[in-house]
Amino acid sequence: MTMNAATSPIRLERLSYVVDSVRVLDDIDLRVQPGEIVGVMGRSGTGKTTLLRLIMGLIAPTAGRVYINGTDITGLDEPELDEVRIDMGMVFQGAALFDSMTVAENIALPLVEHRRRAGGDRARWVAELLEMVAMSGSEDRLPAQLSGGMRKRVGIARALALEPHIMLYDEPTAGLDPISAAAIDNLIQHLRERVGVTSIIVSHAVRSLRRVCDRAAVLHEGRFLALAPIVELETSSDAAVRQFLSGASEGPMTERGQQ
């Protein structure tokens, strides 16, 4: 495949996802620029995780297309999807670690699957990944022995194992103390600066998104209410966007405020 600098790492075209006759995502368009960090906000159950799963090719859209590095992934078979996914890391909302495996084994899983960095090199790389998420020396611990925030950071280390150029984060800082959260924010920016990683971050942490993202979107009733730099969203003429960013309980986003 030929790729040029203008190829968008992630492009969504009229993407829709319907499940149980609910239109979770409705005709979404998005073009993420190389190295861009895009935030996605939205109330619980609005389809943020679904959006990331579609981008990873874990579920198939009802309609529309997902292009990764210029390749339309809708309709690819599993081996083809695996190839595309090598360049993508996903940090799952609940970390999704294997409880019976140590931290090191969890992180090394993608390396084993793709036969990368055998022997001592693998152990060194796992140690380096743990250092990146401020968890040095945790190789032999089991997920059950870790706090929620620590599990999340192991999930990030695992997502980075194959050095992907695309990272999808599902609430990467939820449940973390402010200092650990800031460290994750810094890591996301560092990956962009050092390797040009392109990221989508699902998060409710408006302050953190303001620090990290180039643009942010508010997902509501299957659509992006807005997609712009956060500072612009905060002064948006759309009252629903402003309500979401300020966290007000009443307004156009909540039914009681509809009238």
Ligand X SMILES: Nc1ncnc2c1ncn2[C@@H]1O[C@H](COP(=O)(O)OP(=O)(O)OP(=O)(O)O)[C@@H](O)[C@H]1O
Interacting residue ranges for ligand X, rule: CB under 6 A: 19-20, 24, 42, 44-50, 93
Give the range of 12-20, 85-93, 150-158, 204-212 binding Mg ion by CB under 5 A. 85-93
By beta-carbon proximity to Mg ion, the closer residue of 188 and 219 is: 219
Q: Does 173 bind Mg ion (CB under 5 A)?
A: no
By beta-carbon proximity to ligand X, the closer residue of 111 and 171 is: 171
Cα radius of gyration rounded to whole Å, the chain: 19
Distance of alpha carbon 96 from the chain centroid: 14
Assess contact for 199 and 188: CB atoms under 8 A.
yes
Judged by DSSP in three states, 246 sits in helix
By beta-carbon proximity to ligand X, the closer residue of 54 and 212 is: 54
Choose from Mg ion, ligand X, none: what does 46 bind? Cβ within 5-8 Å by kind. ligand X
Closest distance of CB 73 from ligand X, Å: 19
Give the range of 28-36, 43-51, 60-68, 227-235 binding Mg ion by CB under 5 A. 43-51
HEC assignment per residue over 190-220: HHHHHHCCEEEEECCCHHHHHHHCCEEEEEE
Choosing from 46, 49, 102, 173, the residue that interacts with Mg ion (CB under 5 A) is: 49
Choose from Mg ion, ligand X, none: what does 112 bind? Cβ within 5-8 Å by kind. none
- CA-CA distance, 58 to 183, in Å (whole number)? 29
Task: Return the axis-axis angle of helices 120-132 and 103-113, rounded to nearest 10°.
Answer: 120
Q: Residue 253: what are its φ and ψ, rounded to 5°?
A: -80, -20
Closest distance of CB 193 from Mg ion, Å: 28
Closest distance of CB 42 from ligand X, Å: 6
Strand order in the sheet with 198-202: 88-91, 166-170, 198-202, 37-42, 215-220, 223-228
Q: Where are the beta strands (DSSP E) in 95-191?
A: 166-170
Closest distance of CB 243 from ligand X, Å: 17
- CA-CA distance, 46 to 256, in Å (whole number)? 18
Determine the size of the site formed for Mg ion (CB under 5 A).
2
Closest distance of CB 100 from ligand X, Å: 26
Question: Which residues are near Mg ion by CB under 5 A?
Answer: 49, 93
